[in-house]
Structure 1
Amino acid sequence: MKKIKNAKSQDSKKIEKELGEFLNKKFGGNVKIITPSVLPHQESISGKSPSKGKKGLINFNIKPQELIAYLDQYVVKQAKAKSVLSTKICTHFNRIRHSQTTGEGMSKITGNIKSNILMFGPTGIGKTYLIKLIAKKIGVPFVKADATKFSETGYVGGDVEDLIRDLVKEANDDIELAQCGIVYIDEIDKIAASPNVIGAQVSRTGVQRALLKPMEETDVDLKVPHDPVSMMQELESYQRTGKRSKRSVNTANILFIVSGAFSELSNVIRRRLSKQNIGFGSKLVKSQKEDEVLKQTKAEDLVKFGFESEFIGRLPIRCVLETLDQEDLYSILKMPNNPVILSKRLDFNAYGIKIVFTDDALKILANRAYKENTGARGLVSVIEEALLDFEEKLPSQDFLKFTVTKEVLEDPKGHLEDILSKQNSLKWNNLYEKAFLDHKAYISNYIKDNWKTFSIRYGLTLSQIRCNMVALYFCNNVMEIEDAVKKIKQVHDSIKEIEVEVSKSYNLNIVFEEDAIDFLIEQFTNHNATIKEILSKIYDSYYDGFNLIREKTGKNRFFLSKTALIDHETYLNDLIRKEIT
């Protein structure tokens, strides 16, 4: 290996030979070198050329309240956590943008402090979901890992650095973009050193120390020591350029977010509070709820819990997520974008079956999940258990619609037999239609209540009619609300393009009025109409009449309403009579 490391003056064939011998000893002939000279020129061993970067996140301009409004569409409760995460994350990335745009700011401050975040909350409460949503919204590379992975492999620190390398992969080899990514580490409480326990402590404290430098600022070499792929990449680069290149990632702007359940931390806090509150004026600490106790966490509590003070010092922002009660679980199921119901709709839709849930059914599922005591994760378990037989049997019976009611959940076997017998098909069809209309009305009201957010974000005026259109499209297709709004916006823009196309092709200036646009949107979404069909229809129905008016009067601007589209003959006759006679 020393010969390989000092091979700068040796020719490439000798390097290949020595590296090949090493790989043969290390991996028993399972790894071989393919000389790059016989391959097409490429920038990396994977065949992907590294992108040149975008100078980081210069275009980032999301404000905290905008990010909170986005999270409100997906996450129930957790107002404080949404506020803390949105504010600090937006501030972090806007500071990066400001620094890169002006060339001043963080890079000029000695000892700059990052807003790394520590999240507290029991399992199934939505910690990971929140961070994934934020990363998706702001469009930065995001990697997630469990702290237990590090404790199993000791405190070498290689695994910690692998997180940074994974960021580069997520950024498609764009190092500048990766340097503005998010690293999320869950189950961080598992690397706390337990008091009075001998054995695993060295590993746990070692992992904490391995995280110290990346959480603040350090350079992480992208080349992995003793990794054959990294060696081959370096060899290939050396043969192509004759130089040894060093690629590294600086972690100064990488945001670290860590979370854990911290189930035993409340006991540490209670002991501290009990000592402080001795006497007649003391408060009953034991009567406080778990999340209320965690909100009183201090650095000394975390140190007593088993974290080193240097590690806690690099996590200046703390937020506690609230526990979920039965009503919260019901609200999650009612939320249009909740992945639990959307996933189950997708499962049945894969067999061509449309499924809808009644309100009473959702309440029963929420009640069962609450008894599981695993937070929102319990929702998935109870729904899978309740509908497994239906998911097995219905696809083989050519059913197209299925309604989950309170009665279905209370007596699944009896109702499954009733459905399969097809003796009460009309009853089940009526149940579906009613449940579908109720769900559509709920979604329409939801869009109406949030019309301002959607209208500003997508530049689409959302009248009541369009709210209904979005709701109908959402209910008929498995997608998130935003995607349904995007679809209607896309169709709206296509209709405006028809006006431009008519002007280009026929030299006629037509303008669709709002009710006509709404009518055409319905044709596109409900009847799968195409632009070509609409253009053809306009030419066949209106060209001769409009051309006649243009020749006689010189008028070349015509407004089309919904009525004009439905009954073009009456519209043209009235227009010709008005303009010519």
Structure 2
Amino acid sequence: MSNLTPREIVSELDKFIIGQADAKRMVAIAMRNRWRRQQLPPELRDEIAPKNIIMMGPTGVGKTEIARRLAKLAGCPFFKVEATKFTEVGYVGRDVESMVRDLMEIGVNLVRKEEMDKVKVKAEKHAEDALLDILLPNSKPQSSGMGFFGASSEPQIEEKPAADAASTREKFRKMWREGKLDGREVEIEVTVQGGGVEIMSMPGMEGMGMQVSDMIGKMFPGKKKTRKVNIREAYEILIQQESDKLIDMDNVAELARERVEQTGILFLDEIDKIAGKHDGGGSADVSREGVQRDLLPVVEGCVVNTKYGMVKTDHILFISAGAFHYSKPSDLIPELQGRFPLRVELSSLGKDEFYRILTEPQNALTVQYKALLETEKLSIDFSKEALEEVAANAQKINEDTENIGARRLYTIMERILSDLSFDAPDRSGETILIDREYVKEKLQDVVEDRDLSRYIL
């Protein structure tokens, strides 16, 4: 991310998301500002707060996809959560601080994977030696007591001198690397985690329940159990075990905490659902406002207790999104509004955008369906006119029923290709061109019958 300018970030997002130039520019600037902040002296760095963003627009226009692709591009901890999952403290439901704990868990997994990649070569070497110890238990002074099934040379190893045993060991190493031992089986010790103890905690006290559960889990560590597996599977298990020995989990947790605090992104979806109008309505509105007030300190900057230690939320970037059909950002409590200074409206998608979505992105639906049916040796292709017809139908149905944006393309494409998907195993080796007439034929009944299209498309 440190090498990407805002223009390059937008260019990367363009590979997967069509249109929405304003939203892409805004998130690109926000991400670049995070890098800029890291270059400043510590006394000034701590004063610069992240510029949180509210993205407004109907469903299916790319709000979530922009945030997800951005996080993948940046390689930073990212967690998406629906604001509707939370309830005010005192009600039954999730505590808002739980999203920070989930983000920390993602950060730990991210750093752990990176550390495992760093020690992979060393872990593979150790795993290979451990595997040879199991195959030839007497080739080293310390015997593991594990046997090798089907090794004709095993009875003679005990009588051989050390030099001869070393020579045999190297022969086995060569055979293993050439794949000649893959069909054999060995017994290997694995650690089986005991059944976790789940503590039912009071609403708003999930942190305490998590700590008690973790403490009980440490009191009853996992048991060791012998499994009989083939050599290739044993090698993978040993790599995992050796990697765990080489990685310092305390260091991983510390690195993850720093990364979460400095580069973490929390995506709050459906924030409009907790923006109730202040008309003195019923308890639902009271609860919505309560969620906002619980959310405020987390967005503002506080310390959240996780099982990996205390995490400060001062510099976590919050990106929120909502359709805002029945409410508007000004319906949020003023304090929370002030914590989301940047706002961008995403435009609705029309026929032209739908056509581009079907043809331009690397992961376009047409590419996905072609690849899926290719597994059955059935080749399909789409004519330009066919995709234009699909795009026009998507726009028409969105206008006539409910506007669900680009998600409408999923339902239409599935409708068009359902027969081919079903018959694909019987049509292996064929090549089929899907043209405008084919699309019209498959969509004719649902397009003409408006009530039917409400249910099917």
Specify the TM-score bucket, using the shorter chain as the normaliser.
Answer: 0.5 to 0.7
SS at match of 1:395: helix
Deviation at 1:170, TM superposition (A): 1.4
Q: Residues 392-431 of structure 1 correspond to what in structure 2 (within 5 A)?
A: 392-412=422-442
Q: Give the equivalent residue in structure 1 for 2:276.
A: 193
Q: For residues 511-543 of structure 1, what are the alpha-carbon distances to aligned partners after superposition, in whole Å with 9 as ceiling and x for unaligned?
A: xxxxxxxxxxxxxxxxxxxxxxxxxxxxxxxxx
Distance 2:24 2:8 in 1: 11
Q: Which has the higher mean CA deviation after the structures are superposed, 169-178 or 133-142?
A: 169-178
How well do the aligned residues superpose, as a CA RMSD in angstroms?
Answer: 2.4
Task: Mark the runs of 5 or more structure 1 residues left unpaired by the alignment.
Answer: 1-58, 224-245, 266-300, 415-581
Distance 1:220 1:78 in 2: 34
Q: Residues 473-484 of structure 1 correspond to what in structure 2 (within 5 A)?
A: none
Distance 1:61 1:87 in 2: 14
Pairing 1:183–2:266 present:
yes
Pairing 1:98–2:182 present:
no
Q: Give the equivalent residue in structure 2 for 1:253.
A: 315
Deviation at 1:132, TM superposition (A): 0.8
Distance 1:103 1:131 in 2: 28
Higher strand share: 2
Distance 1:158 1:78 in 2: 32
Q: Residues 155-194 of structure 1 correspond to what in structure 2 (within 5 A)?
A: 159-171=95-107, 172=109, 173=253, 174-179=256-261, 180-194=263-277
Compared CA separation, residues 413 and 400, structure 1 to 2 (3 A): farther
Q: Which has the higher mean CA deviation after the structures are superposed, 205-214 or 173-182?
A: 173-182
Compared CA separation, residues 154 and 393, structure 1 to 2 (3 A): farther
Q: Give the equivalent residue in structure 1 for 2:325.
A: 263
Q: For residues 342-368 of structure 1, what are the alpha-carbon distances to aligned partners after superposition, in whole Å with 9 as ceiling and x for unaligned?
A: 332232133233332111111111111
Compared CA separation, residues 131 and 90, structure 1 to 2 (3 A): same
Pairing 1:128–2:64 present:
yes
Q: Give the equivalent residue in structure 1 for 2:21.
A: 79
Distance 2:92 2:12 in 1: 39
Distance 1:385 1:349 in 2: 19
- The aligned length equals 291
Contact 1:155 1:210 in 2 (8 A): no
Deviation at 1:383, TM superposition (A): 0.2
Contact 1:325 1:370 in 2 (8 A): yes
Q: Percent identity?
A: 36
Q: For residues 200-247 of structure 1, what are the alpha-carbon distances to aligned partners after superposition, in whole Å with 9 as ceiling and x for unaligned?
A: 122111111111122121111014xxxxxxxxxxxxxxxxxxxxxx71
SS at match of 2:19: coil
SS at match of 1:118: strand
Among residues 299, 302, 306, which one is paired with 2:329 in the alignment? 302
Q: Give the equivalent residue in structure 1 for 2:359.
A: 334
Deviation at 1:152, TM superposition (A): 8.7
Deviation at 1:129, TM superposition (A): 0.7
SS at match of 1:411: helix
Pairing 1:113–2:49 present:
yes
Distance 1:413 1:157 in 2: 43
Deviation at 1:311, TM superposition (A): 0.6
TM-score under structure 1 length normalisation: 0.47
Contact 1:122 1:261 in 2 (8 A): yes
Deviation at 1:194, TM superposition (A): 2.9
Distance 1:218 1:61 in 2: 31
Compared CA separation, residues 336 and 258, structure 1 to 2 (3 A): closer
Pairing 1:378–2:408 present:
yes
Pairing 1:369–2:308 present:
no
Contact 2:10 2:25 in 1 (8 A): yes
Q: Give the equivalent residue in structure 1 for 2:293.
A: 209
Q: For residues 122-155 of structure 1, what are the alpha-carbon distances to aligned partners after superposition, in whole Å with 9 as ceiling and x for unaligned?
A: 0111100111111111111111011111149866
Letter of the 1:192 counterpart: A
Distance 1:390 1:157 in 2: 44
Compared CA separation, residues 182 and 413, structure 1 to 2 (3 A): closer
Larger radius of gyration: 1
Deviation at 1:410, TM superposition (A): 2.4
Distance 1:159 1:352 in 2: 50
Deviation at 1:323, TM superposition (A): 1.2
TM-score under structure 2 length normalisation: 0.59
SS at match of 1:257: strand
Contact 1:116 1:255 in 2 (8 A): yes
SS at match of 1:384: helix
Higher helix share: 1
Q: Give the equivalent residue in structure 2 for 1:552.
A: none
Q: Give the equivalent residue in structure 1 for 2:181.
A: none
Distance 1:154 1:324 in 2: 41
Deviation at 1:375, TM superposition (A): 1.0
Task: Mark the runs of 5 or more structure 2 residues left unpaired by the alignment.
Answer: 110-252, 399-403, 445-457
Deviation at 1:370, TM superposition (A): 1.1
Distance 1:413 1:93 in 2: 49
Contact 2:81 2:267 in 1 (8 A): yes
Compared CA separation, residues 158 and 377, structure 1 to 2 (3 A): closer
Distance 2:286 2:377 in 1: 55
Letter of the 2:306 counterpart: L
Contact 1:123 1:261 in 2 (8 A): yes
Letter of the 2:277 counterpart: S
Distance 1:128 1:170 in 2: 18
Among residues 145, 149, 152, which one is paired with 2:85 in the alignment? 149
Distance 2:377 2:80 in 1: 34
Q: Residues 22-33 of structure 1 correspond to what in structure 2 (within 5 A)?
A: none
Q: Give the equivalent residue in structure 1 for 2:453.
A: none
Distance 1:410 1:83 in 2: 38
Pairing 1:222–2:306 present:
yes
Deviation at 1:324, TM superposition (A): 1.0
Q: Which has the higher mean CA deviation after the structures are superposed, 62-71 or 172-181?
A: 172-181
Q: For residues 426-470 of structure 1, what are the alpha-carbon distances to aligned partners after superposition, in whole Å with 9 as ceiling and x for unaligned?
A: xxxxxxxxxxxxxxxxxxxxxxxxxxxxxxxxxxxxxxxxxxxxx
Deviation at 1:168, TM superposition (A): 1.6
Distance 1:155 1:86 in 2: 38
Q: Residues 453-464 of structure 1 correspond to what in structure 2 (within 5 A)?
A: none
Contact 1:121 1:323 in 2 (8 A): yes
Q: Residues 278-289 of structure 1 correspond to what in structure 2 (within 5 A)?
A: none
Relative contact order, CA 8 A, sep 6+: which one is greater?
2
Compared CA separation, residues 163 and 324, structure 1 to 2 (3 A): same
Deviation at 1:317, TM superposition (A): 0.7
SS at match of 1:211: helix
Pairing 1:314–2:339 present:
yes
Letter of the 1:178 counterpart: V
Compared CA separation, residues 220 and 368, structure 1 to 2 (3 A): same
Q: Residues 351-370 of structure 1 correspond to what in structure 2 (within 5 A)?
A: 351-370=376-395
